[in-house]
Structure 1
Amino acid sequence: MIKRKSEQTVQRLAHGFPVIAITGPRQSGKTTLARATFPDKPYLSLEDPDVRVIAESDPRRLLAGYPDGAILDEVQRAPHLFSYLQTHVDANLRPGMFVLTGSQQFGLLAGISQSLAGRVGMVQLLPLGINELADASLLPATLDELLFTGGYPALHDRDLLPGDWFAGYVATYVERDVRQLINVRDLSTFQRFLRMCAARTGQLLNLSSLAADCGITHNTAAAWIAVLEASYIIHLLRPHHRNFNKRLVKSPKLYFCDAGLAAWLLGIHKPEDMAFHAQRGNLFETLMVAEFLKQRWNDGRPSNLYFWRDSRGLEVDLLLEEGERLMPVEIKSGTTVAADFTDNLRKWVHLSGNTEQISWLIYGGDQRFDSGTTRILPWGQAGTIGTE
């Protein structure tokens, strides 16, 4: 098993909450994490029709059979169970009793907010991060290989080709989740929509343009984007609200949660195709944004990530918000640091009025150095920002 950074967070939350919920995309390792962290707990999958029938028809009997708690996998498949869980944990008041996993934010979070509010410690688990792969000695040899493969555990601990695995993943998991959440009459249209989203990873989300390219309505595009976000396929990065006397854009930026999945949807068939692909820069930015997101979620904290862009086109790829402090980060895929890589950072620092502001540049090379107040980091060290 590949050790996950979020395991300590799950253990910490289990000391204070009667219920722990682990959510994230399908095949990101939620069940493996739950069973490795709580090896002595009984395991029940609500994907099993027999278990689901009991959970729906006689939930009290099901829970009574596990007085010390259990791991309930894909619990959103039995939504009525949440109310009975509330009664059960309130009667016992013991921390770390039940561990819930789910791959759909809609079902899991709706059940928690309605019945288990204040009783649940939440962990959101994305595919493997760079530091997790490095610690397990599984980090691909090159950046292009990592962009091509992504971070889903199955692609690193099993002998699988990314193209084979992603084809099955999209057909088996993504499309099934979509059918459970919304009524898609023409699945081929949704598949085209998914590929169009991959072509826009790292870009401002323009729903009207996306809808027109796919031949669907604006409202349908908005609904499908919400489903992809709820299933942890994409993440919408919001613009920061602080206004430095400039008119700021209001649209979010669209990022895939896994660069490898986006690369497969773009038709990239081998790592060698990545080097000169038109979308390589956006895929690198996608990889780095996901790394920052993983770092926050692995610690059990909400996202503190934003971007900043004004009406003149001045943009900072990431702003990390720590209280009143904002840390600007630029992301460049080049292996050589060009002179203009830090231009936007310098302009943003000037607009912020704090000339001593430390800024950060992450690039596709392997050397770390400073340029004035800008700290330049290789891609493998992105997780160190904010820890020094």
Structure 2
Amino acid sequence: MIAQVPLYPRYANDRVTVALTDTPVVMVNGPRQCGKTTLVRGLKNHSRRYITLDDETVLASARADPAGFIRELDVATIDEVQRAPDLLRAIKRTVDDDRRPGRFLLTGSANILAMPTIAESLAGRMEVVTLLPLSQAEIKGHKVDFIEDAFAGKIHQPTNLALGKELIDIVVTGGYPEVLARRDSRRRAAWAREYTRAIIERDVRDIIEVDKLEQMPQLIRALASHASQLTNFSQLGGHLRLDDKTVRRYIGILEHVFLIRRIEPWFRNDLKRIVKTPKLHFLDTGLLSVLLGASSERITADRSQFGAILESFVISEILKIASWSSAEVRLSHYRDKDQDEVDLVMENEVGSLVAMEVKASATVSAGDFKGLRKVAQAAGKDFRLGLVLYDGDTVLPFGERLFAAPLSCLWN
């Protein structure tokens, strides 16, 4: 029997719908198979021609004559537009002549807006909505805005908790709809391996020429083993005989196809002894777990790898919530030369801060708040909330604006 992929609510849907009412071009940007096509084809009250560049004949036409291809369209959805990036320049020209809202709804499996010329050409004409794999809030049908609540200083006691083995299962499964449709862990792992191969052989090739593509799988595995750690580009390159510049370039490419996310350090000018090195996180911990060979059973027996995977899981959940949250936030991490750290610092548009430490344990001590206290002191009146997210069942106070909170707070 063929597994049916269930439909889940996508909370970015409202943002896309609203953007189409006042913006000529709307792009839904995110990794392949995260649900972009399902979202754009399921929009209500939007009658438009649908075109996919996964059709090789259509793609050839779009690449051969971008201006003519767009000239024939009035109101359209173009799927996988990164496969023919010159279409965006043609769209810019036609939109300059006819700025009706909602003319073009695009999807892309690569962040082509990272290309400066394209980003500049559509400035003021296009709104981008990021769609990542399913969040736990979407999987469980709970629309919560954890980010908005956190900046308001609110932390809620969750009612339905995921603890221990259940939490591990959630983390190692990840959020891709195709994976959630497969109950057998071996079938999930097979899908993840094929997905990673497709990213390398198709998505990377779509956006850039890579001269040593055969080394990309080894680099991805090396990045998986360094997930949630400070990024040492020279060390990564040394194992693969790649120079520092090439490693940085390849990591940038993997960011563009939404496999990983670089989190830069947080600091203020008056802070001393700060480590100014980014961390790397995988945007789906199902893929990360397969790359590490970390099954639910293996982690249950030996939790030594779980801390790093869990940290990436929390970062990815926050990024997903940010895609529909009313709050605009910038994510960073904190680490100083005393080895005190905070896994995630969120800063909103007015400079207020929420900081979080992730702990793969059912217990919390006052010492777990050392990094959070340093950030709170540095931020002063801008500090709103400090959390240690843990594998426990109760929200507990640990000082002014400092709490231990169950990980389930993110979605429940």
Q: TM-score, normalised by structure 2?
A: 0.85
Query: Which residue does 1:90 correspond to in 2?
Result: 96
Query: Which residue does 2:15 correspond to in 1?
Result: 9
Query: Which residue does 1:228 correspond to in 2?
Result: 254
Secondary structure of the structure 2 residue equivalent to 1:298: coil
Query: Which residue does 2:129 correspond to in 1?
Result: 123
36-45 vs 19-28, greater mean Cα deviation: 36-45
**C-alpha displacement of 1:78:** 1.7
The answer on 1:155 being equivalent to 2:182 is no
Q: Deviations over 1:83-134 (max 9, x none)?
A: 2212222222211111111111136755642432210011111111110111
Percent identity between matched residues is: 33
Q: TM-score, normalised by structure 1?
A: 0.90
Query: Which residue does 1:213 correspond to in 2?
Result: 239
**C-alpha displacement of 1:146:** 1.4
Query: Which residue does 2:368 correspond to in 1?
Result: 341
Which of 38, 51, 60 does residue 53 from structure 1 map onto? 60
Query: Which residue does 1:134 correspond to in 2?
Result: 140
Which of 324, 339, 343 does residue 313 from structure 1 map onto? 339
The answer on 1:325 being equivalent to 2:331 is no
303-312 vs 348-357, greater mean Cα deviation: 348-357
Which of 191, 200, 205 does residue 217 from structure 2 map onto? 191
Report the residue type matching 1:319 in the other structure: V
**C-alpha displacement of 1:58:** 3.7
* Partners of 1:246 and 1:311 within 8 A in 2: no
**C-alpha displacement of 1:294:** 1.3
Count of residue pairs brought into register by the alignment: 380
Query: Which residue does 1:279 correspond to in 2?
Result: 305
Unaligned runs of 5+ in 1: none
**C-alpha displacement of 1:61:** 4.3
Distance 2:298 2:270 in 1: 41
Query: Which residue does 2:146 correspond to in 1?
Result: none
Secondary structure of the structure 2 residue equivalent to 1:142: helix
Query: Which residue does 2:153 correspond to in 1?
Result: none
**C-alpha displacement of 1:194:** 0.6
Report the residue type matching 2:273 in the other structure: R
Query: Which residue does 1:23 correspond to in 2?
Result: 29
351-360 vs 300-309, greater mean Cα deviation: 351-360
Distance 2:196 2:395 in 1: 38
Distance 1:245 1:219 in 2: 29
Residues 199/18 of structure 1: CA separation in 2 closer, same or farther (3 Å cut)? same
* Partners of 2:353 and 2:384 within 8 A in 1: no
Distance 1:381 1:357 in 2: 17
Distance 1:157 1:283 in 2: 22
Residues 302/324 of structure 1: CA separation in 2 closer, same or farther (3 Å cut)? closer
* Partners of 1:9 and 1:299 within 8 A in 2: no
**C-alpha displacement of 1:302:** 5.7
Distance 1:98 1:159 in 2: 37
Distance 1:100 1:49 in 2: 18
Secondary structure of the structure 2 residue equivalent to 1:202: coil
Distance 1:300 1:17 in 2: 19
* Partners of 1:234 and 1:254 within 8 A in 2: yes
Q: Deviations over 1:304-344 (max 9, x none)?
A: 11111122212111111121212221111112223422232
* Partners of 1:44 and 1:71 within 8 A in 2: yes
Distance 1:357 1:28 in 2: 33
Distance 1:77 1:354 in 2: 47
The answer on 1:238 being equivalent to 2:264 is yes
Distance 1:372 1:378 in 2: 17
- What CA RMSD, in Å, does the superposition of the two structures yield over aligned residues? 2.6
33-42 vs 294-303, greater mean Cα deviation: 294-303
Residues 19/179 of structure 1: CA separation in 2 closer, same or farther (3 Å cut)? closer
Query: Which residue does 2:391 correspond to in 1?
Result: 364
